[in-house]
Chains A and B, each alone.
Chain A
Amino acid sequence: MKIDLKITSSKDFWAGLMFIAFGLAFWYIAQKNYAMGTSVRMGPAYFPVVLGGLLAALGLVVFVQAFLAKSSEPAITIPFRLWYLVAALVLGAIAYFLRDMRDATLPGYTVGKEVVHTVVSGIAGVLLFGAFPVRVFPFRIWRVIIGLGLGGFAYWWYTQMPPHEANVAALAGHTLVSGLAVGLIFAAFGERSLWVVLFSVVVFGYVLKPLGLVAATVLLVFISAWGGHEFKPKEVTILAVALAIFSVLSFVKGLGLPMNIWPGFWE
């Protein structure tokens, strides 16, 4: 069965989805992990559960409005495939109830079972997106998904890394992965300048401690300038040098911020 859904405001559509996702995430995490308490003595979960629920509800209203609002924007028509959605939901429900298959601590666990389970949930996910043909997404959804995956990996890696230790190789690798994650998400929106700017910031954060302020500033200026519309090597070099001198003089010498000026292994 195919139903045509007309989205009159794609911005509301995505904003609504975003609010629903945030609301549900906060609601779910809070009620699962923290104590609710009573209305007299509220536990740590009370306030976030209420707010999360409210946010998801509001998000739903915004989402529904995206289909109802009158707007001068050209309507997007989605040839919405209901059966894909139904199948995705059914498969998803099955996967949820069989989630014990993934639990290695239970008796009867085999890797094969976990693989089967992963495949079933994967199909559910693909069907869910397949219900809405991909081109209605205002950005390249796969890049976002891969970017988010890499970002999750970078986060996991971060929790594994010993904190505040200048292991250059690990830092470089982690910088690369996080940069790639940010980059992919931004590349999904099409504009190079966007992700270059954020990438430059991520690089700055990572190299400041091991390589010092001068190198970090120069890198930041060069990478971010590359994200602009025109890149003039001579001008950018002068700017980078000037900014490096200025920030060393004012922030380290003047304000006394505790930062390395030169790479740690030089000193």
Chain B
Amino acid sequence: MESFFGEFGVLLGTLAANLGLGFSVALSWQNLLYCLVGVLLGTLIGVLPGIGPIATIAMLLPVTFTLNPTSALIMLAGIYYGAQYGGSTTAILVNIPGESSSVVTCLDGYQMARQGRAGPALGIAAIGSFFAGCVATIIIAVAAPPLAEVALKFGPAEYFSLMVLGLIAATVLAHGSLLKAIAMVLLGLLLGLVGTDVNSGVARFSFGVSELSDGIGFVSVAMGVFGFAEIIANLEQKEKREIFTKKVSNLLPSLQDFKDSWASILRGTALGSALGILPGGGALLASFAAYTLEKKVSKNSAMFGKGAIQGVAAPESANNAGAQTSFIPLLTLGIPSNPVMALMIGAMMIQGIAPGPQVMTERPQLFWGMIASMWVGNLMLVVLNLPMIGMWIKLLMVPYRILYPSILVFCCIGVYSISNSPFDVMQTAAFGVVGYIFVKLECEPAPLILGFILGPLMEENLRRAMLLSRGDPLVFFQRPISLAMLLIAAFLLVVVLAPAVRKKREEAFVEA
């Protein structure tokens, strides 16, 4: 017992020391500034429907060239969780999700606004998000080091199996057809292979285009498939936006509101944190799951959809928690769990950092600085955003016909500046076409992006594992960790393909 407390004490000590280092980095004026820029930008694009964190981060990637790695990652991370705060504002006031992860917030948030309770809805969303952000930051700080330690023992076989598991999980959790999602993963893996093969030096699938021998630009794929395709799809629909014009007053929820929602915030945070860690998880899934859970748990579930404050508190806490804990697989294993994290990998590679478990030991300042900045950023969001809601509402009045050319300009400049050539712009336009076709054919692009970023890594680890085992594919089943991961992947597939679950899964996504 004593030794347990002793060890616990040591752990707590290192944790405190690590966080201390983190805060010393995060609180430097420069990093504070980039954190602020990140969360403000995140809130901005969160508020605005039609542009999400993926396109924004892709847009800013080239700009981060000029920054130091820590500041760059702090800013980009701020965009992702900042967007979760902003998304709720639009959902509550306009009944349009500013972010896909705020879709469920519309259900009760807008009803609350119609009942004249927009203020408390916005307030509880911000408070819930802040609480979730704090908890998630601590979870990352506690869980990341041991996970990274495990990951350091991984050989190529383990890495390969881990990626298989990650990709399978991502397809299982994506909505829509499972088969199509897996096909999209495969397509992504193949697209990721375009370019010079590291082992043989052969330029694969480059068709003699010199720009393609470095591979297809990741930013182009992400921006084309998510940014351009989204704009085009938005333009297809006639614009109709009904903004809640009544002045939003009294942001502080009442005591009764707190009593009603504290348990939901706790549940949302817990669920969101757990789902964020899972491969394929993140903010979107977390918010859907939290809303469904609240409805199940609540004594008067009839209130849901009619302005129940729990229906705002839980998903908003969950999406922020999920957004943050999804950094865990990235920081410890070097494996992205969703497209935003895939972009973060891109950002790290631009800076010459190989993502993986060694980041924590080799660059403790970057690692802990980023974690500490998340807490700082959350604080900024809560302190700054509530007073600024009036300004965000004004921004919402900006019609889309003005917004989208502006978005296009920034996207194009961003893409062009990657290598200062028109080629990247053309490439992005081409992926805009592809992305639009994906939308029309109901093929989810998220698994494609994950596959794209993992393609070369997977091939590399497969080659190494097979070389070490002298061509014996059984190696993936003989090493226990690798076997376990493959079994989980197989289990996930079997479960989802089972007719009963399949029906439930489809229902769940329809309901959500």
B183 near A59: Cβ-Cβ < 8 Å: yes
B186 near A208: Cβ-Cβ < 8 Å: no
B466 within 8 A of A: yes
Q: A261: which B residues are within 8 A, CB to CB?
A: none
A62 near B179: Cβ-Cβ < 8 Å: yes
B202 near A205: Cβ-Cβ < 8 Å: no
Q: B208: which A residues are within 8 A, CB to CB?
A: 159
B422 near A205: Cβ-Cβ < 8 Å: yes
B405 near A243: Cβ-Cβ < 8 Å: yes
Among B205, B238, B409, B428: residue with most chain A CB under 10 A: B409
Cα distance, A209 to B426, chains bound together (Å):
14
A229 near B466: Cβ-Cβ < 8 Å: no
Chain A interface size range: 35 or more
B204 near A30: Cβ-Cβ < 8 Å: yes
Which stretch of B10-18, B77-85, B192-200 is in the interface?
B192-200
A62 near B180: Cβ-Cβ < 8 Å: yes
Q: B421: which A residues are within 8 A, CB to CB?
A: 164
Which stretch of B229-237, B327-335, B355-363 is in the interface?
B229-237
9 CB-based A-B contacts, threshold 8 Å: A15-B183, A19-B183, A34-B197, A40-B470, A41-B463, A42-B462, A65-B179, A193-B235, A221-B409
Q: A34: which B residues are within 8 A, CB to CB?
A: 197, 200, 202, 204
B413 near A257: Cβ-Cβ < 8 Å: yes
A89 within 8 A of B: no
A22 within 8 A of B: yes
Q: A52: which B residues are within 8 A, CB to CB?
A: 190
Instruction: Return the chain B residue nearest A206 by Cβ.
Output: B422
A220 near B408: Cβ-Cβ < 8 Å: yes
Q: Apart from A194-B236, A229-B235, A255-B66, what 5 extra A-B contacts exist at CB < 8 Å?
A: A11-B441, A30-B204, A34-B204, A198-B433, A251-B413
B408 near A26: Cβ-Cβ < 8 Å: no
B35 within 8 A of A: no
A51 within 8 A of B: yes
> Closest approach, in angstroms, between the C-beta of B502 and any C-beta of chain A?
12
Instruction: Return the chain A residue nearest B201 by Cβ.
Output: A44
Interface residue from A40, A197, A205, A232 paired with B471 (Cβ < 8 Å): A40
B437 near A44: Cβ-Cβ < 8 Å: no
- 0 or 1 for each of B410-443: is its CB under 8 Å from A? (1 = yes): 1011001100111111101100110011001111
Q: A65: which B residues are within 8 A, CB to CB?
A: 179
Q: A8: which B residues are within 8 A, CB to CB?
A: none
Query: Top 7 closest A-B pairs, CB basis?
Result: A205-B425, A40-B471, A205-B422, A44-B197, A39-B471, A193-B235, A55-B186
Chain B interface size range: 35 or more
B190 near A51: Cβ-Cβ < 8 Å: yes
Q: A41: which B residues are within 8 A, CB to CB?
A: 463, 467
> Closest approach, in angstroms, between the C-beta of A66 and any C-beta of chain B?
11
> Closest approach, in angstroms, between the C-beta of A233 and any C-beta of chain B?
12
> Closest approach, in angstroms, between the C-beta of A40 and any C-beta of chain B?
4
A163 near B210: Cβ-Cβ < 8 Å: yes
A187 within 8 A of B: no
Among B205, B228, B423: residue with most chain A CB under 10 A: B205
B459 within 8 A of A: yes
A267 within 8 A of B: no
A191 near B190: Cβ-Cβ < 8 Å: no
Cα distance, A29 to B203, chains bound together (Å):
12
Q: A74: which B residues are within 8 A, CB to CB?
A: none
Instruction: Return the chain A residue nearest B235 by Cβ.
Output: A193
Q: A206: which B residues are within 8 A, CB to CB?
A: 422
B131 within 8 A of A: no
Cα distance, A155 to B466, chains bound together (Å):
38
B187 within 8 A of A: yes
A176 within 8 A of B: no
Cα distance, A44 to B204, chains bound together (Å):
8
A11 near B442: Cβ-Cβ < 8 Å: yes
B406 near A239: Cβ-Cβ < 8 Å: yes
Instruction: Return the chain A residue nearest B200 by Cβ.
Output: A44
Interface residue from B197, B429, B466 paired with A205 (Cβ < 8 Å): B429
A23 touching B409 in the complex, CB below 8 Å, given contacts A18-B441, A205-B425, A230-B401: no
Cα distance, A15 to B197, chains bound together (Å):
29
